[in-house]
A and B are shown apart, each in its own frame.
Chain A
């Protein structure tokens, strides 16, 4: 597969960001909580070309802390490509020579789409905690407006991992007529109690930071300490015992032997600290609170009277992939979705990839996952 050679040479090169704005004075969106909300900015990127039949569009749905920048580079100088650069590009599983790929930042995010850090037009100040509590369904409804705006009536595929997988499921249940296929990676129809618990710790860390100030910190100092701790906890849940063992073991960061003082730092500590610090520069603490809450609330079957009823609405093909070492979105949860689909006689395929990387596998096992996805997409594109 061509994705094995240099990522820069094979990447999309420089990609553009776009913003689509809708809502008042036009039609606002009605949120799941019943409130009308808008205007809304949607930051998005597209890669590849829409074909004449408009039948090759693939919507990529990012995870918790992702953004619209899925692939390519923003500037010639930038060192970091988009978050799924190994999966999206010419000759890659989401092959931009064949497909028109769209990725947008979710509602409630902080990377260009309206979220708690955006200006409230009524007060002229950032929303903060006055931002409405949004759901996965609300994110999907916003994406639907974007897809309509782009003139696409039917998506060849909706695809995402983790929170992105929740959106993919929601898309295929909420708008079955618009979804020819969905690709659900390391995801679930509803988070476990354990998953909610870790999110709660993250939110608590942020809210108990003295700089949090009930979410009105934008003109002041960020609750960086709290957000950094939230990210550290998050990172633990994205890895696995095995991957941490392989990556860090019990090695010390700077010393060769224990000094029996608190300057001793194990490598894993240093890694978490680095991840926490890095995260604070690119993510808004309020968005962390809102998006984690949206994941906690998510329950695909709830509004349809159960998972079986929700599954029966789906008309497209579905590919579900889970990872053996993922304890945050464990395989048994993915299988619940698959069995509900099988009971409803839906066209669903499931694989459980044996991988040591925990929940992060869907970002790391790009080769094996990529082969499955490109085959799946190819079969859908050939038949739809």
Chain B
């Protein structure tokens, strides 16, 4: 039942990649953070990279935390897309650990590369070896520290693998500018990404626009 506790405190898993995202973002740029949560990433980006930042989240409690930190935040539903955001209005549009919770991820990714010069997306890689072993030999949906939910209480409705995502980008004619593969604490070794990365972070851009 430890899984339920972890769900009550999801922070422990999202912090892993903050450093990596902060590294990716150019100083002084304009950032839109989709699913910004308590605003910690935005705050760090503002402090460490002097960005102008804005967050979007659906939860009232998260909005309150962002406002307490003095951040600009919008309570909105990402399922509705970004139709009110002008094309090219941000340097970076970030979607941190949220893609797998979205009903129409393809639409959202396209919207992100429309609104931002770059989109930064990271998500858990479902093809990680631990997941494969749990499913192949345990015969059950993987539950581990990277994806700590039971099938019936998971917010993750659209799991994909690293490979799946690369393929989707090619179909949508979206360029992958950069990718970072991670294990829980470190950069994954430079081979067998789809087996070894627990999480992947992609920097995307719109092929047609650049």
Contacts and interface: CB of A to CB of B under 8 A. Distances in A.
B63 A379 contact: no
16 contacts: A317-B72, A319-B67, A342-B84, A343-B86, A343-B89, A345-B30, A345-B52, A349-B63, A349-B73, A351-B60, A353-B60, A368-B60, A378-B68, A379-B67, A379-B69, A379-B70
A248 interface: no
A41 B148 CA distance: 65
Interface in A370-384: 371-372, 375-376, 378-380, 382-383
Interface string B46-68: 00000010100000100110111
Interface residues of A, number: 26
B174 interface: no
Interface in B61-98: 63-64, 66-76, 84-86, 89
A238 interface: no
Interface string B18-43: 00000000000010000000000000
Nearest to B69: A379
A352 B74 CA distance: 9
Contacts of A347: 72
Nearest to A322: B75
Contacts of A379: 67-70
A372 B89 contact: no
A15 interface: no
A372 B72 CA distance: 13
A211 interface: no
A348 B67 contact: no
Main secondary structure of the interface of A (DSSP, over half): helix
Given A339-B84, A371-B64, 13 more contacts: A317-B72, A335-B84, A342-B54, A349-B66, A350-B76, A354-B60, A368-B60, A372-B63, A375-B67, A375-B68, A379-B67, A379-B70, A383-B70
The listed residue with most A CB atoms (<10 A of its CB), out of B73, B74, B76, B85, is: B74
Contacts of A335: 84
A368 B63 CA distance: 11
A57 interface: no
Given A342-B54, A343-B89, A368-B60, A350 B67 contact: no
Nearest to B56: A350
User: Which 8 A-B pairs have CB atoms at the shortest separation, nearest pair first?
Assistant: A379-B70, A375-B68, A351-B75, A339-B84, A375-B67, A350-B74, A351-B63, A349-B73
Contact of B74 (A349, A353, A383): A349
A207 interface: no
A41 B54 CA distance: 43
B52 A349 contact: no
The listed residue with most B CB atoms (<10 A of its CB), out of A319, A342, A383, is: A342
A378 B68 CA distance: 7
A354 B86 CA distance: 27
A343 B63 CA distance: 20
A338 B76 CA distance: 12
A62 B85 CA distance: 32
Contacts of A380: 70
Contacts of B60: 351, 353-354, 368
Contacts of B86: 343
The listed residue with most B CB atoms (<10 A of its CB), out of A335, A343, A351, A379, is: A351
A383 B72 CA distance: 14
B58 to A, nearest CB: 10
A352 B69 contact: no
A351 B52 CA distance: 20
A351 B60 CA distance: 7
A234 B161 CA distance: 56
A362 B54 CA distance: 25
Contacts of A338: 74
The listed residue with most B CB atoms (<10 A of its CB), out of A371, A375, A382, is: A375
Nearest to B86: A343
Contacts of A371: 64
Nearest to A335: B84
Contacts of B70: 379-380, 382-383
A22 B69 CA distance: 41
B34 to A, nearest CB: 14
A342 B74 contact: yes
A355 to B, nearest CB: 11
A352 B67 contact: no
B75 to A, nearest CB: 4
